Structure 1
Amino acid sequence: MASFDDDLRLAHVLADSVERFTLDSFRAQDLDVQFKEDGTLVSRADTHTEELLRHQLGRTRPRDVVQGEELPTTGHGNRRWILDPIDGTVNYVRGVPVWATLIGLVVDDVPVVGLVAAPALNRRWWAATGSGSWTGRSLSRATRISVSDTSRIEHSSLSYADLNSWSDHPRREGFLRLAGRCWRTRAYGDFWSHVLVAEGAVDIGIEPALAVHDMAALAPILTEAGGRLSDLDGTDGPFGSSAVSSNGQLHDGILSLLNDGLVGPDDDGHGA
């Protein structure tokens, strides 16, 4: 099995290289914030952070592809760095400390390295294929993590992002059905839901609308911790347009509740 430990160390160096800037810009009074065409927010900090990450990768991995949220994809090849400079931009611009820089590496379309750096929380989560999943402040100050052993949805804790995102979603009833079955529900949101699943503090994380830059870093962290990440259809990995993370044991039951009675484009309107 190939080792990606050098790439993981680089991911930490990348996170180090932008941490001072993102922290200094957090709660800044002059932070320029605009709406993108899709209605989401972008700040000057998002764009500049991605520029800093790309500059560092250009020096250290000049042959690799770089794909980010804010800037065009560059490079060609089978190694692809996927960046979300600030995941949780709304939190960032409102002064809520739940935001993070997400750095993922995909090789031959397989997520192999993931790092989530949340400096305002003083925490990181990371993993590389075959090396386990970890949390801490740095590589030298780390604790290995694993998912929970909860085996029943009725005993599980669910975290989601925003109720409004389900308002006109075709799986709205399925989501409400799932939430109603769970022991506890909280809206930790964004990356935090899923890393909490990886460390066993939460059993289920779910979001109905995401992009690959939101999920690429999370996939290795969850799988190396013994969990599972799929889209709402059940396709594993970070390449769908939604996310369900779990401890693995609960996953099939979650998907069943989400999709029970779902009317697809070829159905007759009476459900499955």
Structure 2
Amino acid sequence: MSSNERRMQAGIEAVRKGGAHALGLFKRRDELVIEKKGRQDLVSRADRETETIIRDHISALFPEDGFLGEEHGAAGSTDRMWIIDPIDGTANYLAGIDYWGVLLAYVENGRPTLSFTYDACRDELWTAEAGKGAFRNGKPIRCADTSRADEALLALSFNFKLDPPVYTNMLEAAIRKGIDHRRLGSSALKLAYVADGRFDATVSMLTNSWDVVPGLLLVKEAGGCIVDFTADGHPYDQPRPAAACAPGIRSVIEEVTGLTLDG
């Protein structure tokens, strides 16, 4: 078994293990103490414990690998690094809304290589390996074949660190093109839904790597177009805009966002 095959198996085990823990606490969320990291930025022990479970599982199998996690930060190697968002959609999670995901990516020599997105509430696991396609629960998936803006469905994210007109101007431009939109609260699941043909595009005008790097690889492997998060040497530990879409609406998404997509 190759190193990537072993890491793929480890990643699947880790997100399922972490997801099971998070789901158990989700069902008892009235016991959680909620803390604020910033404006509309919440956290609880569920986030921290889930990230620790994932890190510990990976570390036991690959002690030489490093990590970049939303809750516990960076540690170890950056040549072979796992990026973790233990609960993407924490506000939904703590409000009892079952739209959140467990997110993990393996990055080797600066390039995303493996991707894992787990919806524990629905037991849907999306995986991808660079150059080998995208899958949901082991079955191949592809982006939608949508080619008209007035038939497209766009999923959005908003970050309170962003100047509001950057978001509202982009939204107005999309609406004027006839694009419908949703804002559901988990970048991880929105990217998975684009890869799976449920949404046609998703955009965040300011986001962190742990929110989107796994899903961007997933969309790319499903035949979609994506922003390269590390283009121009941008580091993984700094936020930037991100977008992904079905290939047939690439030009209109680039137009309304001002972003450049690859695919």
- TM interval, shorter chain, is 0.7 to 0.9
**Mean alpha-carbon deviation: is it higher for 59-68 or for 148-157?**
148-157
Structure with higher helix content: 2
2:181 to 180, 185, 206: 185
Contact 1:125–1:133 under 8 Å retained in 2: yes
Displacement of 1:192: 2.0
Aligned-CA RMSD value:
2.7
Q: How far apart, CA to CA, are the structure 2 residues paired with 1:206 and 1:236?
A: 21
Aligned amino acid, residue 89 of structure 1: T
% identical aligned pairs: 24
Instruction: Note if 1:151 corresponds to 2:139.
Output: no
Aligned amino acid, residue 14 of structure 1: A
**Mean alpha-carbon deviation: is it higher for 183-192 or for 94-103?**
183-192
- TM-score, reference length from structure 2: 0.86
- TM-score, reference length from structure 1: 0.84
Aligned amino acid, residue 177 of structure 2: R
Displacement of 1:11: 0.7
Q: How far apart, CA to CA, are the structure 1 residues paired with 2:128 and 2:89?
A: 21
1:209 to 193, 203, 206: 206
| Alignment CA distance shift 1:171-1:22 (3 Å) | closer
| Alignment CA distance shift 1:77-1:253 (3 Å) | same
Q: After TM superposition, list the pairs within 5 Å mapping 1:209-228 onto structure 2.
A: 209-228=206-225
**Mean alpha-carbon deviation: is it higher for 83-92 or for 116-125?**
116-125
Instruction: Note if 1:197 corresponds to 2:182.
Output: no
In structure 2, list runs of 5 or more residues that go unmatched.
none
Contact 1:116–1:125 under 8 Å retained in 2: yes
Q: How far apart, CA to CA, are the structure 1 residues paired with 2:3 and 2:226?
A: 22
Aligned amino acid, residue 9 of structure 1: Q
| Alignment CA distance shift 1:253-1:235 (3 Å) | farther
Q: How far apart, CA to CA, are the structure 2 residues paired with 1:235 and 1:146?
A: 28
Structure of higher CA gyration radius: 1
Displacement of 1:163: 9.6
Contact 2:100–2:185 under 8 Å retained in 1: no
| Alignment CA distance shift 1:188-1:114 (3 Å) | same
Aligned length: 253
Instruction: Note if 1:11 corresponds to 2:34.
Output: no
Aligned equivalent of 1:264: none
Structure 1 SS opposite 2:71: coil
| Alignment CA distance shift 1:236-1:215 (3 Å) | farther
Aligned equivalent of 2:164: 168
In structure 1, list runs of 5 or more residues that go unmatched.
137-141, 261-272
